[in-house]
Amino acid sequence: MKAFEYAAPTTEAEVLELLSPEWGKTEILAGGTDLVGLMKAMIITPDRVVNIKEVDTLRGIRRTSQGLEIGAVTNLDDIHDSPHLEPFPAVRQVIAGLGSMQLAAQGTIGGDLCKRPNCWYFRNGFGLLAKRGTLVAEGDNRYHAIFNNAGPAKFVSGSRLAPALIALGAFVRVIGPDPEQQAEIPLSEFYRTPRDENQRENVLLPSQLVADVVIPDLGLANAAYEVKQGCGPEVPLAAAAAALRIEGGRVTDARVVLGQVAPTPWVSADAREALLGQPVNESTAEAAADAAVRSATPLSHNAYKVQLARVAVKRAILRAAGHQTGGF
Amino acid sequence: MKDHDQGRGRSGFSRREFLKGSSAAAAATALSVGPAVARAEEKGTKLVGPGATSLTLNVNGKDHQVQVEPRMTLLEVLRYQLKLTGAKPVATDGSCGAATVIVDGKPISAATTLALDCKGKKIQTVESLGGPEPDQVVKAFAKADAQQCGFCTPGFVVAVRAFLDKHPNATKEEIRQGLNGNLCRCGTYYDVIEAALECVKGGS
């Protein structure tokens, strides 16, 4: 690990003062489950690390008029165990699926949302866009994107919780660069596909951070489903979350979001269209799943992910509506 | 736990002591640049490093004064400064569970936790479960013969202890899922789960 200076401030304002306006100079430490490993591998080499876990205002689960507000450094196991999460089984299912009580106890919701991608070219020092995408296109791309992968970015979004939270209509409160500056950004607009190495996979500036996540009370039936190779702490091969409003036995509103398939969480308008006005059953869920993957453009080694994504969408929809499905 | 006593062979000379002795010369050279370059105060917030800074770590109920660089992980300080070698360095990203320790009641990976991040927290390592009257989990592991090469075992013991503290009446399936974050290269999962179940039945 490269040597760095360290601070553990106790207020949001102090955190912002310590952050550099330039990428790569400072890193924000929350749970450290991913950052510390990346620093050991010298993939991330900051001059300064700012630990934000001592800031009390960034921790905790609170009911507000806007919905359920979860502080960025709240640990994932505390979120899973909180009775406030009762209406949001999709979030609980994703945390339970992390497959490691250590990761859940140490990891934080803000850290998950800002987690760097799992692309093995990125994690072995070839950069996020790995020679403008050519390394991935010509190399081993079995875990890479099947949507939005024509440009240089072919990795898949690193966050596990983002698909569920986007389906639930969550937004994040972002603070900085100045202490009095804050913005509420819908999580569906938080992620973006970088086009060059100076861009990140979300809209944050280097001197901004996520302070809270707010899940509004929309009363949507919801569930998440991840397709994993085993039961351990490995990354899913495909994932989906669904949030539905079902009135009079028919879907009147729907949000279907896929994970592990694109450089951002992938909101499927096609799946939504297929579900609207329909009752939820095996055949309508399957039709929505078919619609969700119809425009997939797999790379040379990941066509198998199209079927896995299809299964994830189908099962997430069925589970959201309270049906039993196969799988774990 | 005096692990170097157990490692002592017929010659009365342990492998760990031999390695410590032979690397002493190299370490002396490397450290000659001088310790403790601690800077402070940037707009009121205490900034330390990149050189070593002093830190008090509460490990197994006892306070230890250590000199750490901000980049040092808790695992490095436990193993190389406090000589608590129970937690093992295996995966650098904490994905194997071999470095599991309990910090403020939660099972975390010491491999992905910075030592400075543990300031003021209570750290419990596998060594606290040993001693003349070992913890029930340690006894159950011995009874179930829940180890082969043994390298993952300390992490498993701590993980089982932490899991059962939170779920004292866990079922076999819950234990299986709860221990997913610990990997065993030899595949001793069956016996580990038996050992954990033994503790549930015995009342922990």
pLDDT of residue B202: 67
Provide the number of structural domains found in chain A.
Answer: 2
Q: Tell me, yes or no, whether A198 and A238 share the same domain.
A: no
ipTM of the complex: 0.94
The predicted-structure confidence for A38-51, as pLDDT tens digits, reads as follows: 999 999 999 999 99
| pLDDT at residue A53 greater than cutoff 60 | yes
User: What is the dihedral sign for C-alpha A194, A309, B177, A214?
Assistant: positive
CA atoms within 13 A on the CB side of B26: 5
**In terms of residue numbers, what domain contains A302?**
221-320
Cis peptide before A179, with omega less than 30 degrees from 0?
A: no
CA distance B95 to chain A (A): 7
**With the CA atoms of A266, A59, B67 and A40 taken in that order, what torsion angle do they form, in degrees rounded to the nearest 10?**
0
pLDDT of residue A326: 80
Domain annotation covers residue B9: no
A41 interaction partners in chain B (CB closer than 8 Å): 92
Look at residue A310 and give its three-state secondary structure. helix
pLDDT of residue B45: 66
| pLDDT at residue A301 greater than cutoff 90 | yes
| pLDDT at residue A32 greater than cutoff 70 | yes
Which whole number is the average pLDDT over A86-111?
Answer: 97
Q: How far are the Cα atoms of B26, B136, B161, B172, B201 from residue B197, in angstroms, in the given order?
A: 47, 12, 12, 7, 6
Of A150, A170, A143, A155, the residue nearest A257 (C-alpha): A170
Nearest CA in chain A to B98: A102
Q: Tell me, yes or no, whether B111 and B143 share the same domain.
A: no
Confidence band (pLDDT; 50, 70, 90) for A328? low
**B156 touches A: beta carbon within 8 Å:** no
| pLDDT at residue B26 greater than cutoff 70 | no
A13 C-beta neighbours (distance < 10 Å), count: 17
Q: Tell me, yes or no, whether A113 and A255 share the same domain.
A: no
B51 and B38 in contact (C-beta within 8 Å)? Answer: yes
The predicted-structure confidence for B132-189, as pLDDT tens digits, reads as follows: 999 999 999 999 999 999 999 999 999 999 999 999 999 999 999 999 999 999 999 9
CATH number at residue B113: 3.10.20.30
Domain's final residue, options A152, A180, A215: A215
pLDDT of residue B16: 59
β-strand partners of A238: A227
A156 and A262 in contact (C-beta within 8 Å)? Answer: yes
The predicted-structure confidence for A213-254, as pLDDT tens digits, reads as follows: 999 999 999 999 999 998 889 999 999 999 999 999 999 999
Average pLDDT score over chain B: 83
Q: Tell me, yes or no, whether A132 and A211 share the same domain.
A: yes
Residue B131's Cα: distance from chain center in Å?
Answer: 16
Nearest CA in chain A to B73: A36
How many angstroms separate the CA atoms of A179 and A182, rounded? 8
Q: A248-278 as b/e, with b when 16 or more CB fall inside 10 Å?
A: eeebeebbbbbbbbbbbbbbbeebbebbeeb
* 3-state SS record for A66-100: CEEEEECCCEHHHHHHCHHHCCCHHHHHHHHCCCC
CA distance B20 to chain A (A): 23
Confidence band (pLDDT; 50, 70, 90) for B61? very high
Of A321, A224, A241, the residue nearest A281 (C-alpha): A321
Nearest CA in chain B to A17: B43
Confidence band (pLDDT; 50, 70, 90) for A131? confident
pLDDT of residue A60: 97
Q: Tell me, yes or no, whether A116 and A252 share the same domain.
A: no
**In terms of residue numbers, what domain contains B77?**
44-125
Which whole number is the average pLDDT over A85-92?
Answer: 97
**A74 touches B: beta carbon within 8 Å:** no
CATH number at residue A146: 3.30.465.10
pLDDT of residue B6: 44
CA distance A18 to chain B (A): 8
The reply to whether residue A29 touches residue B39, judged by beta carbons under 8 angstroms, is: no
User: What is the dihedral sign for C-alpha B164, B167, B171, B176?
Assistant: negative
pLDDT of residue B92: 86
A106 and A33 in contact (C-beta within 8 Å)? Answer: yes
A59: which 2 tokens? 């921790």
**B67 touches A: beta carbon within 8 Å:** no
Domain's final residue, options A196, A215, A234: A215
Average pLDDT score over chain A: 96
Domain annotation covers residue B10: no
